[in-house]
């Protein structure tokens, strides 16, 4: 598998999720237990998170250089880490807390794993030359 494929796939999935949340904030709000999306202030915040995920996902999917992909992945990791910290505090005492923190943490870990996979793949890659042909 191409070393950039996992990060690009993760970027596309993140962008799609972000677009969905921007259009329908309840996608984010219901599972967290913060509401069904009827509260205007919560819808605004959910849309902001959705648009952030859309932008960072597109950046991760479309980054054309290793440095740009690294920066995009680090932005995703930082965003998911921030989400985990904010939800940990906001959902204290709520039954949805554990599930929400597991999801936000998993997304950050997936971004970190994709970045690591790409970094290891580029270092160990052998570029075929005429000398490698039978």
pLDDT band at 13 (very low <50, low <70, confident <90, very high): very high
**CA angle at residue 38 from 37 to 43, to 5 degrees?**
50
pLDDT confidence of residue 131: 52
User: Above pLDDT 70, what percent of the chain?
Assistant: 90
Mean model confidence pLDDT for the chain: 89
**If you average pLDDT over residues 104-128, what whole number do you get?**
80
Q: Can you tell me the mean pLDDT for 12-18?
A: 98
Helix ranges restricted to H, the chain: 5-23, 26-32, 40-62, 66-90, 97-124
pTM of the model: 0.85
As a whole number of angstroms, the distance between CA 36 and CA 59 comes to 30
Per this entry, what is the length of the chain? Answer: 134
Residue 3: C-alpha distances to residues 66, 96, 123 (Å) = 10, 35, 10
Give yes or no for residue 32 having a pLDDT over 80. Answer: yes
Average pLDDT over residues 26-48: 89
């Amino acid at each position: 598998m191409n070393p950039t494929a996992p990060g690009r796939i993760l970027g596309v999935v993140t962008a799609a999720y972000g677009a969905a949340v921007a259009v329908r904030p309840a996608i984010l709000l219901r599972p967290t237990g913060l509401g069904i999306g009827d509260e205007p202030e919560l819808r605004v915040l959910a849309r902001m998170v959705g648009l952030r995920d859309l932008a960072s996902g597109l950046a991760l999917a479309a980054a054309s250089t290793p440095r740009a992909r690294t920066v995009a992945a680090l932005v995703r990791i930082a965003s998911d880490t921030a989400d985990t910290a904010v939800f940990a505090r906001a959902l204290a005492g709520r039954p949805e807390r554990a599930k929400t923190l597991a999801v936000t943490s998993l997304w950050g870990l997936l971004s970190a794993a994709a970045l690591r996979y790409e970094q290891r793949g580029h270092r160990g890659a052998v570029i075929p030359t005429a000398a490698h042909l039978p």
